[in-house]
Chains A and B, each alone.
Chain A
Amino acid sequence: MTAALANFTALVLLLTITAYSVAGGVDYGAGIWDLLAGRGARSDRARELIDHAMAPVWEANNVWLVLAIVVCWTGFPLLFQSVFASLYPLFAVALLALILRGAFFAFRHVGVGPRGQRRAGVVFGISSVLAPFFFAAALGAIASGRVAVSEPSVPVWQACFNPTSISFGVVSLAATAFIGASFLVGDARRFGMPDMTDYFKRRAVIATVVLIIMGTIALAVMGLENSRLLSAMLTGLGTPFALAAVIFTPVVGFLLWRGIFLWYRTLSVVVVGSLVFAWGFGQSPYLLPRQLTIAQAAPPLGTEVLLSIVTLLVVVLVLPSLALLVYLDQRGALESP
């Protein structure tokens, strides 16, 4: 019973991280393109689209982050302690970026004067880069096996910054830009801005190429640094997901390159989700590779049962409201009359 519930909790945690990577990725990706837009009339138009597309779901995605943290500390308190004891610098930067991002997106929106708006936009853009990089670097640090149970066994800086954690961060930036551009293509089409459709279509194709290159480099780095991790990810439960990512990434790039506006958003969600699943299933049954399994980290049965009830409540309450928000947004129902 406990084992089954612990596995269920681990799956919920993985799904929450995946939801954050996908939904948050769309959001952060828009911020990255905002930062890269440069100056000029066309960039202003791109920013206008980004603003317009993001405003209704402003920071709503952080629900997933909160849920992941709560599930982690109630479901796997030992994992929570270990991860934060070893990786606190990464989370510190990511959380500062999160605060600045939310605040300065709003400031840019209502900021007085074009110069103030531009400055707020830069802070918003830079924090949109920092947050996904550092969150993903934390996942990479866990995957590299440098997070020891309860207290750090290697110097914290070494646990945080190593080839695997940095490659996870870089891949997440590429994936974030990729899914962000793909959804902005959809938004541009929805708002009837053909010039912006072309603009983000080109960027989505570039992001696809960058994602493929960075993904390959990351696999090579992981292979050189920790071949056991790589083989676990490529031959274990994670294999189908790794394959899905490898197959569908170029498909999205191809569809957008040829201007076939079908399935490209769904498939980019599949790509980002598969990347997270490849990591999560790749290192199962371990929460911390070769140190802490799901069963070892499970809390007492009572906690597990309560957490499962709370999870079901989340499914009943939070999912429909977020789904409705996304549905209304994509239908354009949140436009002012």
Chain B
Amino acid sequence: MEITWKTRSHNPEYIGGLINGAGQVNFGIAIPSFDSVLIGLNPNSVAPGLTSVPADARPSIVEANITHLAFDLMVGLGSAGVFLMVWYFVVLLGRRHLPQSPWFYRVASLAGIGSYIAIECGWTTTEVGRQPWIVYNLMRVADAVTSAPASFVWIMLSALLVVYVLIALIFVNVLLGLAARWRHEDERELVRAPEEGAPYGPRPELASDGSVSPMGPLP
């Protein structure tokens, strides 16, 4: 996750930055010795570098950079989340009410998306960072490939993409439809629990004469 080329002590921690084939790091902010401190709580701790692993058993330069940036993004988003939480509690404990600033709520609404991006970055870090192994030090990705024809793999991947895109589109559509319906009903003061009529929600009564639909009246 750190773009360290040679094994060394007093290893700096790079925030951002890209390593090149010669082992030099461009861009990025270096915090001197901080990586060593993170590893062993001591600037003298030795951080193993990429070159400590044979070239055919370690991530390529591009993979190392992807891993590093994904990890930085994950940690960054996580820290932003912690900052948001601290903000919330400071206001709550200090002033005994919820934060008033609209910026708090703007950032909070982005935190939902941010948490998903952070999760994906975490996966990218582990999966790209493990290359070229699928089971570390036991099995290479190239040795684990299915015997099924490539055409099947492509067809299956496309089918899954189509199905999930379709489901996502319908899902968003349904949510918008429900939001519109509830807004409409709120305006008519027919307030209903938002869970009603949804899977996992409590079930409305089923009339034995079938006169009442569980869906309720449509707008």
Digitize A103-138: 1 where CB-to-B-CB distance is under 8 Å, 0 elsewhere. Answer: 101110111110000001000000000000000000
Contacts of B213 in A (CB 8 A): 48
Q: Are A45 and B177 in contact (CB under 8 A)?
A: no
Size of A's binding interface in residues, CB under 8 A: 36
Interface flags, B145-186, vs A, CB<8A=1, else 0: 011100010001001100110010011011001100100000
The smallest beta-carbon distance between A110 and chain B, in angstroms, is 5
What is the minimal beta-carbon distance from B209 to any residue of chain A, in angstroms? Answer: 9
Instruction: Say yes or no: B202 contacts A112, CB within 8 Å.
Output: no
Q: Which of B136-152 contact A (CB under 8 A)?
A: 146-148, 152
Question: Which single member of A45, A85, A110 contacts B174 (CB below 8 Å)?
Answer: A110
Chain B CB count within 10 A is highest, among A58, A113, A193, for A193
Q: Which residue of B lies closest to A112 (CB)?
A: B177
Binary flags per residue of A149-167, CB closer than 8 Å to B gives 1, else 0: 0011000100000000000
Residue B41 is within 8 A (CB to CB) of chain A in the complex: no
Q: B211 → chain A, closest Cβ, in Å?
A: 11
Known: A88-B148, A111-B174, A156-B148. A336 touches B202 (CB 8 A): yes
Residue on A nearest B196 in the bound complex, by CB? A336
* In the complex, A254 has a CB within 8 A of chain B: no
Chain B interface, number of residues (Cβ within 8 angstroms): 32
> If the complex has contacts A99-B167, A151-B147, are A105 and B214 also in contact, measured as CB distance less than 8 A?
no
- Chain A residues within an 8 Å CB radius of B204: 336
Structural contact, A52 and B214, CB atoms closer than 8 A: yes
Given contacts A88-B152, A96-B163, A103-B167, contact A336 B208 (CB under 8 A): no
Q: Report how far A16 CA is from B148 CA in the complex, Å.
A: 28
Shortest CB–CB separation between residue A192 and chain B, in angstroms?
A: 5
A45: chain B residues at CB < 8 Å are 210
A73 CB-CB contact with B under 8 Å: no
Residue B112 interfacial (CB < 8 Å): no
Within 8 A of A (CB), among B175-201: 177-178, 181, 196-200
- A58–B218 contact, CB under 8 A? no
Interface residues of A in 68-104 (CB under 8 A from B): 85, 88-89, 92, 96, 99-100, 103
Q: Complex Cα distance A88/B147, Å? A: 10
Min CB distance B54 to A, Å, is: 29
From B148, B159, B203, contact of A52 by CB (8 A): B203
Taken together as a complex, chains A and B put the C-alpha atoms of A106 and B167 apart, in Å, by: 11
Question: A-B pairs with the 4 shortest C-beta distances?
Answer: A112-B177, A336-B202, A192-B208, A58-B199
Interface residues of B (CB under 8 A from A): 146-148, 152, 156, 159-160, 163-164, 167, 170-171, 173-174, 177-178, 181, 196-200, 202-206, 208, 210, 213-214, 218
Q: Given A103-B167, A156-B148, A337-B202, list of 13 further CB < 8 A pairs?
A: A55-B203, A58-B199, A88-B148, A100-B163, A106-B198, A107-B174, A110-B178, A111-B174, A111-B177, A112-B178, A151-B147, A152-B147, A334-B202
